[in-house]
Chain A
Amino acid sequence: MKIRVEGTDLRGVIEGMRALGKAAPEAAMRILGQKAQDVAAKARTLCPDDPGTPGSTLRDSIRATKATRGQSGMISAAVIVGGARLKGLLGSRAYNAIAVVQHEDMTLKHSHGQAKFLEQPFLQTVPSVADAVQAALDQEADRVAG
């Protein structure tokens, strides 16, 4: 049996993914997890790191979560800057404000890095996700078909 998941027709995609069973969402989760890691790696490179600022601490707080699948079937992954890890490194005083200001303040001058250090790699990566998931599903379909 040959199963092919086509991206041009939503019903076909759904039927194809059903035929693949749990291998389909696992493949999609694998790709999404890889893409989230890619975004996090690029964000670490772009993260401001100025002398006398907690830049490297902020950079060290950037991490991608594992891709998860919710009850509705939605697959998601996240890249987080700040949060609990930054709180642990800097203490509770304004820890997330630092992340927001460094990301959003376009008027700051940085000796290394830039504002929008997370948003930019995210926007650059998003267009490649659908094709990568499609390729992974095709590969899985070929494997299932033997």
Chain B
Amino acid sequence: MLLADIGTYLAGAGIGLTLDVNLFRVPFPAAAPTAAACLMETPGEEDEFGSGPSLDLPALERARFQVQVRDDPQNAAACRALAESIRQKLNNLGPVTLGTTVYHDVKATTPVFFLGPDQNERWRWVCNFVAMKGNG
């Protein structure tokens, strides 16, 4: 699963993220701390198939996802720096096996950019990615 694979990879990347503590694989849960990041799947592209039988699994998936990082405005610099660290850990990653899935490459499709405050006035930076991966 994309978000489990990427989440586990980021939690082990040495940038201060811990799964389900300050890194979430869904939009921020209600109990998430102010300073936190989350991964969200976004619309991807159609799969590539080989010449296998009916309902054969795709040979290549082009999945897209977004990383959103939020924090109190007083910690804006650290928040943006974390978003940039996540981007550096993911941009041009691969080929690599995460979990049981081969990721041929992961690329950032945008720079880190400011998304503005959420409804609780926490500032947010985001970055979008595309992953070319095997089935899984």
Binding site for B on A (CB under 8 A): 97, 100-101, 104-107, 115-116, 119-120, 123-124, 126-127
Contacts and interface: CB of A to CB of B under 8 A. Distances in A.
Interface of B: 27-28, 40, 42-46, 64, 66, 68, 113, 115-116, 118, 126, 128
Contacts of A101: 115-116
A106 B45 contact: no
B115 A105 contact: yes
Nearest to B42: A116
A100 B45 contact: no
Contacts of B66: 104, 106
A30 B115 CA distance: 36
Q: Which 10 pairs from chain A and chain B are nearest by CB?
A: A120-B43, A106-B40, A107-B27, A123-B45, A116-B43, A116-B42, A101-B116, A106-B66, A104-B115, A127-B46
Given A106-B27, A106-B66, A106-B68, A100 B43 contact: no
Contacts of B68: 106-107
Contact of B115 (A100, A116, A120, A124): A100
A107 B28 contact: yes
Contacts of B27: 106-107
